[in-house]
């Protein structure tokens, strides 16, 4: 029953392209197969929640330079047992940015991505089934860099493309251009 919130959102999500459609299908199957899909202890992978944060003008996005992965990404993290992925994305967005006023633009899923996380120390490689939501914030509000980041930056959509060649960042930038 606790998976119903996410399952409903997944079945109504419209994938942007064939690659996202493939990952959406993988995520639906993963959630169906694993009742403990929200637990970090599930060694094959787990559901994560991310916040794609744009400003009111829809011209800038907030990115973090991830400390462990040494690359620019959206903010987000582990569900840690919380089945409400929208709440997870909001919590992670606030914790990793210090932004108190973070508003969901929609409660619908913005993007889906499945990616392999490399093994580290005692943790084997595993998949993150990342469920992303779209948020809005004031880009002039003060930011607080968390211990998980090297840096936070509001960047234009073009700059986001320059900072990251990650396919999912490229896809979310394209989706963001369609918002304006």
pLDDT digit of tens for each residue in the chain (180 aa)?
589 999 999 999 999 999 999 999 999 999 999 999 999 999 999 999 999 999 999 999 999 998 888 899 999 999 999 999 999 999 999 999 999 999 999 999 999 999 999 888 888 999 999 999 999 999 999 999 988 888 999 999 999 999 999 999 999 999 999 886
Task: Please check whether residue 127 is in contact with residue 48, taking contact to mean a CB–CB distance below 8 angstroms.
Answer: no
Task: Please check whether residue 24 is in contact with residue 6, taking contact to mean a CB–CB distance below 8 angstroms.
Answer: no
Give residue 97's pLDDT. Answer: 96
Give residue 69's pLDDT. Answer: 80
Give residue 121's pLDDT. Answer: 85
DSSP H helices, 35-140, are 85-97
- Say how many domains are in the chain: 1
Task: Please check whether residue 173 is in contact with residue 16, taking contact to mean a CB–CB distance below 8 angstroms.
Answer: no
Give residue 38's pLDDT. Answer: 97
Containing domain of residue 104, as a range? 4-177
Please give the backbone phi and psi of residue 156, each rounded to the nearest 5 degrees, phi first. -70, 165
Its pTM stands at 0.95
Give residue 180's pLDDT. Answer: 60
Structure tokens at 172: 């979310």
pLDDT digits (tens, 9 = 90+) for 76-112: 999 999 999 999 999 999 999 999 999 999 999 999 9
CA angle 86, 145, 96 (to 5 degrees): 10
d(Cα 88, Cα 86) in Å, to the nearest integer?
Answer: 5
In this structure, the chain runs to a length of: 180
Give residue 122's pLDDT. Answer: 84
C-alpha pair distances (Å), 19 with each of 15, 62, 95, 112, 174: 8, 24, 30, 10, 14
Give residue 61's pLDDT. Answer: 98
Residue 107's domain is classified under what CATH number? 3.90.79.10
């Amino acid at each position: 029953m606790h998976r119903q919130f996410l399952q409903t959102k997944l079945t109504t999500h419209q994938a942007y392209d064939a690659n996202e459609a493939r990952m959406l299908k993988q995520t639906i199957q993963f959630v169906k197969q694993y009742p403990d899909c929200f637990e970090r202890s599930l060694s094959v992978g787990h559901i994560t929640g991310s916040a794609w944060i744009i400003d009111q003008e829809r011209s800038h996005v907030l990115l973090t330079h991830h400390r462990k992965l040494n690359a620019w990404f959206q903010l987000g993290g582990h569900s840690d047992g919380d089945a409400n992925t929208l709440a997870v994305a909001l919590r992670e967005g606030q914790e990793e940015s210090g932004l108190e006023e973070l508003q969901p633009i929609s409660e619908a899923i913005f993007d889906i991505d499945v990616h392999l996380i490399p093994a580290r120390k005692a943790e084997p490689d595993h998949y993150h089934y990342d469920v992303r939501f779209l948020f809005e914030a004031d880009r002039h509000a003060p930011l607080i860099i968390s211990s998980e980041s090297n840096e936070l930056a509001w960047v234009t959509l073009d700059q986001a493309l320059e900072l990251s060649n990650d396919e999912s960042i490229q896809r979310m930038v394209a989706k963001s251009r369609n918002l304006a």
